[in-house]
Chain A
């Protein structure tokens, strides 16, 4: 079974600064996908970024980028130029390549301060 661990329950960052969220996972699969989801106070789950394990290049989406270290089973999310609207819970998630069941970490609450 796969497990996803987010070791930081809560983080705060000043507006316009950078914050990095940690995620580690455990799997025996060689092909898989990793995701970061954002859950703002509205509770809506929104996909922020995803990474396919067979791609060595780290994914980027505007101000969001990941550092994917396959051997270390680490998948961190960097939010650059933080904005007030980035305040939310962030969940790291894993999915096998042959299936689409998402296994989530416990979440990290991010507070962006003005």
Chain B
């Protein structure tokens, strides 16, 4: 158990819908990262927040947005869902925003878009 929690574990929805994935970082960690793992794209970085502020952006679609709240939990919002959005979405957390501190990954949320 990494200490990072993600809810829900599984999500099945239809095209065009909107979903919210939630992540609670390890106690004391200020930085949160979102990654997408799909058969087509592999594992790719989406976005990073540090202490409530967006820190880095990767290949995140405009239909996707994220935020980190004052209690440091984070949410990833996916809208106008398409079949290709089906993937495993990981959240990770680390103490700081530098690679000196290890990123700990949550168990992931499996999203299936039908």
A interface list, Cβ under 8 A from B: 32-33, 42-47, 50, 91, 95-107
Contacts and interface: CB of A to CB of B under 8 A. Distances in A.
A101 B90 contact: no
Contact of B33 (A44, A98, A100): A100
A43 B108 contact: yes
A97 B98 CA distance: 7
Interface in B63-114: 88, 90, 92, 94, 96-99, 101-103, 105, 107-108
Contacts of A44: 2, 105, 107-108
20 contacts: A42-B107, A43-B88, A44-B108, A45-B90, A45-B92, A45-B105, A46-B105, A47-B103, A97-B98, A99-B97, A100-B33, A100-B94, A100-B96, A101-B48, A101-B56, A102-B33, A102-B103, A103-B45, A104-B43, A106-B42
Contacts of A33: 99
B107 A98 contact: no
Dominant SS among interface residues on chain B: strand
Nearest to A103: B45
Interface of B: 2, 31, 33, 35, 42-45, 48, 55-56, 58, 88, 90, 92, 94, 96-99, 101-103, 105, 107-108
Contacts of B90: 45
Nearest to A32: B99
A100 B48 contact: yes
B89 to A, nearest CB: 11
Contacts of B58: 101
Nearest to B1: A44
Contacts of A107: 42-43
